[in-house]
């Protein structure tokens, strides 16, 4: 169990991993996540379940620190020491009407299973994917298959429209009737999408990925303020109404360990270089 059967680099610093775990496949629903541990000495890393089929679990991870780097270096035939899941609440999948699904960067990964199920329920899907550049864009081919229309934006204009996902969303909200928005990606992106949704009186679901340790609500690391109440993303979420999130506080907390993540990755790379 948990043996890796496929691992691919699908974009800049972004890896797709497929491993075996029949129990997760039998019980998971769109919007839920799992926590991986490479070995007994490794950190616990939360990742959204992108696909589950025939006992095979598909996840996508971006290298941002030492733990994600070590996972990206695993090989076919390796096994994760521990996998816990499915965790969190599943998405509220039902017939809404016209839905705009917005994925920023690696946020396209958790958005894909939600969008797929919303499509199966009879909703009309317009998707917007954003990335820093063409080399960082993921899953656009899969979104194209399930969307009435797919828009792509890149910060540098190397693919699609130059700019941000909010540029496209502004136009859509003027031109079309939008019943609900789903947005998953960087916190700042979700905050800006939420602002537009509130201005246009359109509900907006977001999926939060704060610092998380145990995934059971015991550690309190993933606490967020929702309507001035403390909630835990792992057990109360990960999806919340964007209008209820205290974005400034959440973004501030997420930035606390950015320097440590960077230095840990650089340390690992230096060690590898010295070993050679």
Compute the distance between CA of residue 48 and CA of residue 230 in angstroms, rounded to an integer.
23
* Over residues 232-237, mean pLDDT: 77
CB–CB of 14/95 below 8 Å? no
Architecture of domain 4-87: Beta Barrel (2.40)
> pLDDT value at position 220?
67
Would you tell me which CATH number, out of the four given (3.40.50.40, 3.40.50.80, 3.40.50.2000, 3.20.20.70), belongs to the domain 98-255? 3.40.50.80
Kindly indicate the confidence band of residue 273, based on its pLDDT and cuts at 50, 70 and 90: very low
- Of residues 53 and 180, more confidently modeled: 180
Quickly list DSSP for 28-88: --TT-EEEEESSTTSPEEEEE--EEETTEEEEEEE--SHHHHHHHT--TT-B-SEEEEEES
Alpha helices in the chain (DSSP H): 22-27, 66-72, 108-120, 140-146, 165-175, 187-199, 233-236, 247-254, 258-275
CB–CB of 5/210 below 8 Å? no
Alpha-carbon torsion (108, 111, 116, 119), positive or negative: negative
Q: Please name the residues in contact with 258: beta carbons below 8 A apart, sequence gap of 6 or more.
A: none
* Over residues 212-228, mean pLDDT: 73
Q: What are the pLDDT digits (tens) for 242-262?
A: 999 988 888 887 765 555 555
Name the residue ranges covered by the structural domains of the chain: 4-87, 98-255
CB–CB of 187/254 below 8 Å? yes
CA atoms within 13 A on the CB side of 257: 13
Compute the distance between CA of residue 266 and CA of residue 184 in angstroms, rounded to an integer.
28
The whole-chain average pLDDT of the chain stands at: 88
> pLDDT value at position 262?
55
Kindly indicate the confidence band of residue 50, based on its pLDDT and cuts at 50, 70 and 90: very high
Q: What are the pLDDT digits (tens) for 262-271?
A: 555 554 444 4
Compute the distance between CA of residue 190 and CA of residue 182 in angstroms, rounded to an integer.
9
CB–CB of 190/254 below 8 Å? no
Q: Please name the residues in contact with 126: beta carbons below 8 A apart, sequence gap of 6 or more.
A: 98, 99, 100, 101, 147, 148, 149, 150, 151, 172, 176
* Over residues 84-100, mean pLDDT: 94
**What is this structure's pTM?**
0.87
Element (H, E) at 240: strand 239-241
Extract the tokens encoding 230: 């403390």
Residue in the structure block whose two tokens are 């949704």? 197
Q: What are the pLDDT digits (tens) for 135-183?
A: 999 999 999 999 999 999 999 999 999 999 999 999 999 998 999 999 9
Q: Please name the residues in contact with 122: beta carbons below 8 A apart, sequence gap of 6 or more.
A: 95
Extract the tokens encoding 66: 């030492």
**CA distances for 118 relative to 31, 101, 112, 122, angstroms:** 12, 10, 10, 7
* Over residues 49-57, mean pLDDT: 92
Residue in the structure block whose two tokens are 């001035």? 228
């Amino acid at each position: 169990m948990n043996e890796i059967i496929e691992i691919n680099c699908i974009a800049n610093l972004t890896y797709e991993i497929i491993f075996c775990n029949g129990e997760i496949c039998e019980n998971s629903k769109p919007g839920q996540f799992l926590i991986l541990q490479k070995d007994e000495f490794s950190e616990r890393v939360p990742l959204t379940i992108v696909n589950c089929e025939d006992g095979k679990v598909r996840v996508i991870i971006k290298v941002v620190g030492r733990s994600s780097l070590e996972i990206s270096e695993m090989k076919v035939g390796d096994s994760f020491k521990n996998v816990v899941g499915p965790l969190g609440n599943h998405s509220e999948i039902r017939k809404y009407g016209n839905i705009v699904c917005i994925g920023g960067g690696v946020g396209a990964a958790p958005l894909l299973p939600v969008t797929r199920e919303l499509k199966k329920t009879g909703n009309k899907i317009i998707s917007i994917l954003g990335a820093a550049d063409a080399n960082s864009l993921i899953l656009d081919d899969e979104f194209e298959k399930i969307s009435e229309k797919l828009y792509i934006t890149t910060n540098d204009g190397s693919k699609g429209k130059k700019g941000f996902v909010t540029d496209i969303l502004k136009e859509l909200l003027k031109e079309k009737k939008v019943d609900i928005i789903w947005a998953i990606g960087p916190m700042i992106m979700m905050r800006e999408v939420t602002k537009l949704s509130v201005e246009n009186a359109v509900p907006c679901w977001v999926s939060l990925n704060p610092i998380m340790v145990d995934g059971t609500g015991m550690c309190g690391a993933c606490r967020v303020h929702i309507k001035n109440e403390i909630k835990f993303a792992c057990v109360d979420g990960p999806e919340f109404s964007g209008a209820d999130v205290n974005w400034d506080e959440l973004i501030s907390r997420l930035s606390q360990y950015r320097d440590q993540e960077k230095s840990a990755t650089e340390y690992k790379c230096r060690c590898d270089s010295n070993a050679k």
